[in-house]
Amino acid sequence: MAGLIGLKSSDIEIQDALQVTKFDYEGNWIPHPVVRLTTTLPVAINRDGERVAVRARWGFPIGGGRPVGNSRDDKLEVSPMWKSMLAKSPCLVAATGVYEQAVVDGEKRNLWFRRRDGKPIVMPGFAAPRTFDGEARLCCSIITTEPNKYFGRFHPRQVCVVNRKEADAWMGATTPKEALAVLHAPAETEWEAVPVDGRIFKPGRVEMEHLVQLGPPIP
């Protein structure tokens, strides 16, 4: 789930979506139609009593294998890794879409799930430093949950999504119970799925804008 996301919003739009008081992203943020694991993107963290957008690498390194970019909500209290971050190292991640591959009417389809109103999606997650070649870098993950009925037609997991009030609750939670109470799938009527070019799922950095939407939303 959520092996690819998109973040085409400007830094001003991201700042508003994440409700940050400061956009402290090292370097210039360049919108990406496709964001892959290990890509850096702006995420909101708590720092010195305020919410700040900083650069983070999507995916936590696990040995020498594939980075882990998703945290399952049903594993947060049992996984030593996620349990150590729950209500301690929260973050918020913005996206303009989530990409998935699914079978639709017996045919493999490449899909982009987005909000119907076109606004950025805000997802709760975790952020913590990890060491790469002797240098500490901030890494992040996105939390997934049971899908709503619409999304469940295509995939067994879905990213959690928070509104502005829930984002405050996630970032301000001081106990696991408070944090877990925030997590849920978005409302069924909020999202839609549109077909995309399958080349974005292949290795490399294929992320041209014209590949993102090939047709109308799937009813």
| Cα distance between residue 45 and residue 43, in whole Å | 7
Structure tokens at 177: 């119970």
| pLDDT for 211 | 65
Fold of 4-197: hypothetical protein yedk fold (3.90.1680)
Look-up: residue for tokens 């799930």? 113
| pLDDT for 204 | 65
| pLDDT for 158 | 95
| pLDDT for 202 | 76
3-state helix, strand and coil shares in percent for the chain, rounded to the nearest 5:
20, 40, 40
Terminal-residue alpha carbon distance, the chain: 21
CB 160 within 8 A of CB 184: yes
Q: Where are the domains of the chain?
A: 4-197
Look-up: residue for tokens 């997934």? 144
Residue 146: HSE in the Cβ half-sphere, 13 Å Cα cutoff: 2
Q: Which helix (H) or strand (E) holds 172?
A: helix 164-172
| pLDDT for 2 | 56
Which residues share a beta bridge with 44?
A: 53, 92
| pLDDT for 212 | 67
Give mean pLDDT in consecutive 10-residue pieces for the chain, a chain of 219 residues.
83 96 92 90 97 97 87 97 98 95 86 92 97 88 96 93 98 98 94 86 66 73
